[in-house]
């Protein structure tokens, strides 16, 4: 590694849209080394919000840029942020890797159906190393994964053997621990690890785990609330010994309000990152994105 980003604590710079965003970062989050703010490289240059531009210019070795989006119809229960988590309030962080199961809420997501029949799965094994597979699904019937997984970081419709209708899934596709299902939907949504919303082709869940021998630098993050009901977002990190931190608490009170920050947080290997969302009344369509730079250590 020719260059490495230096981690230093600094005052967080935030952009508030419509005056609705607030940042409640707590000092304890910066004292453990799990998450800190960054703004200087090893030459003393200020790292701006255009981090991916610097990566594309070749200024840093062993780095790549990544962006993930997420969306959900939120309600008054503090639930996991992601299309397929439904009413789930807790995420099933596995202690050891295990075989998982995949099914769709639509019987059309099968070979010969009008939907899709293959998905690509990317997760982590017992040693937090990346492991992947392409799985053929059979509609509402559960199909076991070939690999055992400790974490699931993403799913998408496979680019191989696409049906004639294109790469769009007809139903919600779930990947979950063993358990009862009804018409392809797990009865206990707290056992769902990830999934793909109907018609979306890729997972849009705000749950990630940093693989072994990697550091992720979150460079920007956006949360958007579509309607007027007060909505609160929580962005949390969970280090591999199970201790959790609430890194960002964001209340949005106005319609079509958003919160964006452009400072940089390094997140060390084996750290879980996830978000939860809750409204004060009624439902609200929420969405957002996380952009990060991945460094191979």
When pLDDT is cut at 50, 70 and 90, the band that residue 124 belongs to is very high
Written as six digits, the tokens of 120 are 């690509």
Mean pLDDT of 180-199: 96
Angle at 119 between CA 116 and CA 122, to 5 degrees: 160
Annotation: CATH topology of 14-80+207-296 = Jelly Rolls (2.60.120)
At residue 190, what are phi and psi to the nearest 5 degrees?
A: -70, -10
Highest mean pLDDT among 8-12, 18-22, 102-106: 102-106
236: β partners: 246, 274
Using CB atoms within 10 A of its CB, is residue 249 exposed (0-12), middle (13-18) or buried (19+)? middle
pLDDT in tens, 103-119: 999 999 999 898 999 99
**Start-end of CATH 2.60.120 domains in the chain:** 14-80+207-296
pLDDT confidence of residue 70: 81
pLDDT in tens, 54-99: 555 555 555 556 667 788 888 899 999 998 999 899 999 999 999 9
Mean pLDDT of 25-38: 30
pLDDT at 272 exceeding the cut of 70:
yes
pLDDT at 161 exceeding the cut of 50:
yes
pLDDT confidence of residue 46: 36
Cβ–Cβ < 8 Å for 266, 38:
yes
pLDDT confidence of residue 153: 95
pLDDT confidence of residue 49: 44
Mean pLDDT of 232-236: 86
For the whole model, what pTM was predicted?
Answer: 0.79
């Amino acid at each position: 590694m020719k260059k490495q980003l230096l981690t230093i604590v600094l005052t967080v710079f935030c952009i508030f849209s419509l005056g609705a965003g607030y940042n409640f970062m707590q000092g304890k989050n910066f004292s453990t080394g799990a998450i800190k703010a960054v703004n200087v490289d090893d030459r003393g240059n200020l790292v701006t919000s255009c981090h991916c531009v610097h990566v594309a210019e070749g200024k840093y070795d062993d780095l790549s840029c990544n962006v993930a989006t997420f969306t959900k119809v939120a309600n008054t229960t503090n639930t996991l942020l992601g299309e397929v988590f439904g009413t789930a309030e807790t995420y099933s962080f596995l202690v050891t890797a295990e075989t998982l199961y995949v099914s769709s809420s639509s019987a059309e997501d099968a070979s010969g159906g009008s939907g899709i029949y293959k998905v690509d799965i990317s997760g982590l094994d017992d040693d937090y190393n990346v492991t992947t597979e392409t799985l053929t699904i059979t509609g509402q019937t559960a199909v076991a994964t070939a690999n055992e997984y400790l974490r699931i970081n993403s799913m998408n419709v496979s680019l191989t053997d696409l049906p004639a209708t294109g790469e769009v899934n007809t139903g919600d596709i779930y990947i979950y621990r063993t358990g009862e299902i009804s018409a392809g939907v797990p009865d206990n949504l707290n056992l769902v690890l990830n999934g793909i919303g109907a018609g979306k082709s890729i997972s849009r869940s705000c749950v990630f785990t940093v693989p072994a021998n990697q550091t992720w630098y979150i460079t920007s993050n956006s949360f958007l609330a579509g309607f007027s009901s007060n909505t609160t977002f929580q962005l949390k990190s969970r280090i591999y010994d199970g201790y959790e931190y609430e890194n960002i608490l964001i209340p949005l009170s106005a319609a079509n309000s958003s919160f964006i920050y452009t400072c940089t947080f390094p997140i060390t290997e084996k750290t879980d990152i996830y978000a939860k969302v809750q409204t004060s009344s009624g439902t609200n369509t929420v969405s957002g994105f996380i952009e990060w730079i991945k460094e191979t250590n």
